[in-house]
A and B are shown apart, each in its own frame.
Chain A
Amino acid sequence: MLDTKPITVDNVVEMRHICKSFGTVQALSDVHFALRRGEILSLLGENGSGKTTLMNILSGIYFPDAGEIYVNGNHVTIRQPKDAFDLKIGMVHQHFKLVDVFSAAENIVLGLPGGRTINRRALARHVREIADQYGFEIDPDKKVYDMSVSEKQTVEIIKTLYRGADILILDEPTAVLTPQETDKLFDIMRAMKKDNKSIILITHKLNEVLAVSDRVTVLRKGEYIDTVLTKDATIQSLTDMMVGRSVSLEIDCPEPQNIEPILKVQSLTVLNQDGAKALDDVTFGVNGGEILGIAGISGSGQRELCEAIAGLYPVTGGSILYRNVVDGHEVDENVVGLNPNDIVKKGIALAFVPEDRLGMGLVPSLNMVDNIMLKHYRKKKGFFVDRKTSRQIAERLVEELQIVTPDVFTPIRKLSGGNVQKVLVGREIDTHPRLLMVAYPVRGLDINSSYTIYNLLNEQKEKGVAVIFIGEDLDVLMEISDRLLVLSGGRVTGIVDPRCTSKQDIGLLMLGQSIDNEKGADAV
C-alpha cells in the first residue's frame, strides 16, 4: 500500500489513501491530498463529494478508517482536534463553532492552556494585534449573538491564528458573505499567504477558485479526481472534472410573455418577536410570466416576506392584493389576516416552497403519497381519505422529475436533499398555482438537481405563473430573474433589471446603500 515516492518537505500536508465510511455510506475512498507551503489551494467538489469530510479528518473531528497523514514530512496520527492544533492546523467550519453567549475574546481563548484565571486586558490586546496584522476588524468584547455572519467568521479565523495555526482550512467561507465582504476576505487570505501560511479553501464556487487560489484539487463522490494549477483551468474544465461529464452552465431566461399583474404588495410592515420591524414599508408587484428574484443578506426579511404572503406571519400594516377572478370579474383581493386555509378557500392558487423543507414543507417521516395528500385531502368530502389520487400524482412526479426513491411509500427523510426538493416543488407545482414562491430552492443541492429546479421554474414562468425566487447565490439570481428586488434590513433598497446592473451595485444595495443611478430600475 505504501507509496515509495519520497515525501517532499515542500508539502506541508500530505494525505494518502484516506478512506472513511459512515455506516454503509463510503464518504471517502482512497483519497490523496497535498498542500504546499505558502499557497492557497482550492478543494473543489459538489455536495457529498467528501471535501468537508476529508478536512474534518485533517482537523481531528473524524478519524479515518485507513490511510496516512504527513505533516511537514512526518507521519502523524490526528485523533482529536487538539492534536491538529499542536500540528498548527486550524479549521474554520462552515457552521461556525462559536459559543453565542461568549464574547469574541472568550471564544478565541477557549480551551487554551494558561494561568488559572484569564487576563482579559492582555487577551484583548493580543487579539487586536493579530487583527491589525492581517487587516481584520474586530471588537474583542462584542458578544457573538450580536454579531453579523461576517464578524463571526472573523472571530473564527482569528481563533485559529491566535492558536498559532500555519495551515488554515476554510470551509465554504463565502457562502454567507456579500460580494464586498468576499473581496475583503480574499485580501486577508492573500495577506496570510504572504506571511507564509498555507490555506485550503473548500468551495464549490468556481469563480472564487479562479480568483484566489494557486492550485485546485477536485473530489467527486468521495474519490480523488485531479489536482491542477489554477492558471491552467477554466470554469468549464473544472465543472467537467467536478461533475464527471460535460454540463451546460447556462441558465435559461426566456423573455417574459403575456405579462399580467398577479400580486401587489403595498407598504407591507411586519414585526419580529422583539417588536422590531422585520419588514418595513415593502412595496412591489409580481406579474404572471416573470420570475422576480429577491436578493439580500440572510435575515433581511426574506422569510417574513414569504410567510406573510402565504398567510403564515402576522401583518402589522399594509396590504397584500391577489388578482382573483370572482363571478367572472377580476378583483384584487386583500389576504392580510387570512390563514392559508382561508386563502385556498377564496380560490387563490398560491404555492409556497419554504426554506425549511423538512420542517415547514414536508413531513419527514411520512411517505411521498401522504405528503402529497396533505394538499389534497380537503377536496373530497367524507370520513375516509382518498389515497389513490395522491398515489397517482406521486408516481407521475417520480417519473417526470426523475426522483430517485425505492418507491412512493418510502419515508421522505430517507431521500437525498435533491430528491426531497423535487418532491416538494413537484407537489406545489401540481396544484397549478398562479403564484409560486420558492425560498432557497437549490440550497444544498448538487449541480444537476439545481438545474432541474431552474428548468421547472422556467417552465412555470412560460405557463404564465408569477414566480418569486428567493436565493442566496447572486450569480444564479442574476441569471434566472427578470427583475431583482433587493432587501436590506427589511426594506426594499432597489428593484433592478439584473441584465444591466453590476454585481457590485447589487452588493451595495444588499448592504443598504443606494446606488447613484438606478440603472434599469422599474419599481412597480
Chain B
Amino acid sequence: MNVLTIIINWINAAILAGTPLLLATNGEILTEKSGNLNLGVEGQMYMGAVTGLAAAWLTERWFGVGGIIPLIAAVVFAFLMGCISGLIYSVLTVTLRANQNVTGLTLAIFGTGFGKFFGEVLSNEAGGYVTVGAETKHVFGNINFGNLTEIPVIGTLFFRYNWLVYFSIIVAVILGWFLNKTRKGLSLRAVGESPATADSAGINVTRYKYAATTIGGGLCGLAGMYMSMVNQKGIWVTDCVSGYGWLAIALVIFSTWSPLRAIYSSIIFGGLSVMYMRVPIPGLPRDIYMMFPYIATIIVLILTSIRQIKEHAQPASTGLNYYREER
C-alpha cells in the first residue's frame, strides 16, 4: 500500500469513527446553547445504545422482519430514550434547580449503569449473546452507490459510508443554520448567554431550555445507537460507548460551540481514535495510540483557554440555573 492509499483509507475510517462524536457533540452544543452544561452525555449514549439495539432486536423477534423496519425502530427509540434522559436533566436543573454539574455527572453514571444492566438482560434473554440479523446489519452498513464507489480517491472519500454519516452532517448544517440565521435560534442563544435578558425580551426561558436539552439528549441517544448498531454491528458489547461521551464534551470546546466546526473537529478526533489500525508506527504500543484523542483534548483545552474570542466562548450562563425573582 502506498502512502496516499493509507491516508485516504485513514480519512474514510476517521469519518466513520467521527460520526457518533459529531452527533453527540451537536447534541451537547444545542444543550449548552440553552445554558445547560450537561455532563451526562456518556450516560445518554449508553441509554441510546442499548435502547436502539433492543428495539431492533425485539422488532426482528416479534414481527419476524429484518432490514428497514428494525432500523426505523432503533432510530426512533434510541432518539426517544435520549430525549427522556434530556428531559430528566431538564426537570432536575430547570424546574427543581438542582446543581447542573452534579446532575450531569449523576446522569452519566446512571446512564452507563442503565445501558450495561439492560444489555445484560438482553443477552440473557437471547441466550447469552444478542445480535441482530444480517438484513438489519446490512441496512446499517455502507450505502450501495454502485459505480461511484469505484472512482479512485473520490469513491473512498465520499461514497463508502452508512447513511448516518450523511445524516449527521446534514444535522450539523441544519443546526448551524438554525442557531445563526433564525429568530428562534437567536432566542435560544440569548437564553444561554443571558437568561434575564431573554426573559425580559419576552422569551420563555424554561421552554427553550427544556426543548434544547431534550432534543440535544435525543441526538446523544442517536450517537449511542451508532456505537451499538454500526461500530459493533448490532451486537451488545458491554463497553461499547467507551468514553466517547466525554470526548464529545471536549469536542464542544474544540469546535468553539459551532455545529459546523464540529464537523471537522469530530473527523480529527475520529482519525486519532482509529490511528492505531490505519497508520501503524513500528514499535509504538497500542496503548500509546489510544491516548492520542485524550492528549489532543488536553492540548485543545490549553489552547482554547489562551486565545479568547468573545463569539467563540462558552455561552455566558452555561452551568447557572435561572430564577427570575432572585435578588
Whether B202 and A81, one on each chain, are in contact in the complex, defined by CB atoms closer than 8 angstroms, is yes
Q: Write out the residue numbers on chain A whose beta carbons fall within 8 Å of the beta carbon of B199.
A: 61, 80-81
0/1 interface trace, chain B 59-101, chain A, CB 8 Å (1 if under): 0000000000000000000000000000000000000000000
Check A111–B187 contact: CB distance below 8 A: yes
The docked-state distance in angstroms from the alpha carbon of A117 to that of B316 is 24
Residues B186 and A110 in contact, CB atoms below 8 Å apart: yes
Within 8 A of B (CB), among A239-265: none
A359 at the interface (CB under 8 A from B): no
Asked if A97 is an interface residue, CB under 8 A from chain B, the answer is yes
Within 8 A of A (CB), among B258-277: none
Chain A residue contacts of B203, Cβ below 8 A: 110-111
With most chain B CB atoms within 10 A of its CB, the pick from A62, A85, A118 is: A118
Interface readout for B119-153 with A: 1 if CB under 8 Å, 0 if not?
00000000000000000000000000000000000
Asked if A118 and B196 make an inter-chain contact with CB atoms under 8 angstroms apart, the answer reads no
| Interface membership of A102, Cβ < 8 A | yes
- CB-CB under 8 A for A97 and B201, given A22-B327, A117-B183, A118-B181: yes
The answer to whether A99 has its CB under 8 Å from any CB of chain B is yes
Q: In this complex, what residue of A is CB-closest to B202? A: A82
CB distance from B323 to the nearest CB of A (A): 12
Q: Which residues of A contact B327 (CB under 8 A)?
A: 22
Residue of A nearest to B181 (CB): A117
Task: Assess the B200–A93 pair: CB atoms within 8 A.
Answer: yes
Tell whether, in the assembled complex, residue A100 and residue B316 are in contact, meaning their CB atoms are under 8 Å apart: yes
A100–B201 touching, CB < 8 Å: no
- For chain B, which range describes its interface: under 10, 10 to 19, 20 to 34, or 35 or more residues? 20 to 34
Residues of A within 8 A of B325 (CB): 22, 61-62
| B residues in contact with A159, CB < 8 Å | 201
Main secondary structure of the interface of A (DSSP, over half): loop
Determine if B183 and A99 form an interchain contact, defined as CB atoms under 8 angstroms apart.
no
Judge whether A438 is part of the interface by a CB distance below 8 angstroms.
Answer: no
Query: Are B190 and A102 interface neighbours, CB within 8 A?
Result: yes
Q: Which 6 A-B pairs have the closest CB atoms?
A: A111-B201, A82-B202, A97-B197, A99-B193, A111-B203, A111-B202
Contacts of A106 in B (CB 8 A): 186
Identify which of residues 171-203 in chain B touch chain A, using a CB-to-CB cut-off of 8 Å. 181-184, 186-187, 189-190, 193-194, 196-203
Complex Cα distance, B189 from A183, in Å, reads: 35
- Cβ of B310 and Cβ of A100 under 8 Å apart? yes
Which applies to chain B's interface (DSSP): helix, strand, loop or mixed?
Answer: helix
Contacts of A198 in B (CB 8 A): none
Q: How far is the CB of B294 from chain A (nearest CB, A)?
A: 30
B310 engages A97 (CB within 8 Å)? no
Within 8 A of B (CB), among A84-102: 85, 91, 93, 97-102
Residue of B nearest to A59 (CB): B200
A 11-24 binary contact with B (CB < 8 Å = 1; else 0): 00000000000100
Alpha-carbon distance between A112 and B200 when the two chains are bound, in angstroms: 12
Kindly state whether residue A121 has any CB partner on chain B within 8 Å. no
Minimum CB–CB distance for B313 against chain A, Å = 8
A345 close to chain B: CB less than 8 A: no
Q: Which residues of chain B are within 8 angstroms of A408 by Cβ–Cβ distance?
A: none
CA distance A86 to B198 in the complex (A): 16
B200 touches A61 (CB 8 A): yes
Q: Are B182 and A111 touching (Cβ within 8 A)?
A: no
A321 within 8 A of B: no
Q: What is the number of contacts between chain A and chain B, taking CB atoms within 8 Å?
A: 80
**Complex interface: chain A residues within 8 A of B182 (CB):** 116-118
**A61: contacting residue among B186, B310, B324, CB under 8 A:** B324
Chain B residues with CB below 8 A from A98, complex form: 194, 197
Mark B284-327 against chain A: 1 for CB-CB distance below 8 A, else 0: 00000000000000000000000000110100100000001101
Q: How far is the CA of A55 from the CA of B201 in the complex (A)?
A: 16
Whole-angstrom distance from the CB of A18 to the nearest CB of chain B?
Answer: 16
Q: Which of chain A's residues has its CB closest to B193's CB?
A: A99
Bound CA span A114–B310, Å:
28
Q: Which of A91, A98, A101, A118 has the most CB of B within 10 A?
A: A101
Contact A111 B193 (CB under 8 A): no
Tell me, yes or no, whether A109 is within 8 Å of chain B by CB: yes
Beyond A100-B310, A101-B311, A118-B186, whether A110 also contacts B201 by CB under 8 A is yes
- Distance between B9 CB and nearest chain A CB, rounded to angstroms: 41
Q: How far is the CA of A81 from the CA of B201 in the complex (A)?
A: 7
Asked if A115 lies at the interface with its beta carbon under 8 angstroms from chain B, I say yes
State whether the Cβ of A376 lies closer than 8 Å to any Cβ in chain B.
no
Q: Out of B184, B194, B310, name the residue touching A145 (CB < 8 Å).
A: B310
Q: Nearest chain B CB to A64's CB is how many angstroms away?
A: 12
Interface string of A318-331 (1 = CB under 8 A from B): 00000000000000
7 CB contacts below 8 A, A to B, read A81-B200, A81-B202, A99-B189, A101-B316, A111-B198, A117-B181, A118-B181
A109 to B197, CA, bound (A): 12
What is the bound-complex CA distance between A93 and B310, given in angstroms?
Answer: 23
A25 to chain B, nearest CB (A): 9
Q: Report the bound CA distance from A115 to B182 in whole Å.
A: 8
Closest residue on chain B to residue A116 by CB atoms: B182
Q: How far is the CA of A61 from the CA of B325 in the complex (A)?
A: 7
Say yes or no: A116-B183 contact (C-beta < 8 A), given A81-B199, A111-B203: yes
A143 at the interface (CB under 8 A from B): yes
Interface residues of A in 35-94 (CB under 8 A from B): 59, 61-62, 80-82, 85, 91, 93
Per the 8 Å Cβ criterion, residues 107-128 of B in contact with A are none
Chain A residues positioned under 8 Å from B194 (CB to CB): 97-100
Task: State the CA gap A117–B179 with chains docked (Å).
Answer: 10
New A-B contacts (4) at CB < 8 Å, excluding given A97-B194, A100-B310, A110-B190: A59-B200, A61-B200, A99-B193, A117-B181
**What's the least CB distance linking B205 to chain A, in Å?**
10
Given the complex of chains A and B, what is the CA–CA distance between A22 and B196 in angstroms? 18
On chain B, the residues within 8 Å of A116 by CB distance are 182-184
Expressed in whole angstroms, the Cα–Cα distance for A93 and B327 within the complex equals 14
For B181, list chain A residues within 8 Å (CB). Answer: 117-118
**Closest Cβ–Cβ distance, residue A280 to chain B (whole Å):** 24
For the complex, give the distance between the alpha carbons of A118 and B311 in Å: 19
Q: How far is the CB of B197 from chain A (nearest CB, A)?
A: 4
Instruction: Specify which chain A residues have a CB less than 8 angstroms from the CB of B196 in the assembled complex.
Output: 97
**Docked CA distance A353–B147 (Å):** 78
- The residues of A that contact B183 with a CB separation of less than 8 Å are 109, 112-118
B198 contacts A110, CB within 8 Å? yes
Interface centre among A80, A117, A143 (most CB of B within 10 A): A117
Which residues of the other chain, A, contact B316 by a CB distance below 8 angstroms?
100-101
A101 touches B202 (CB 8 A): no
Measured between alpha carbons, how far is A117 from B310 in the docked complex, in Å? 24
A156 CB, nearest partner CB in chain B, Å: 10
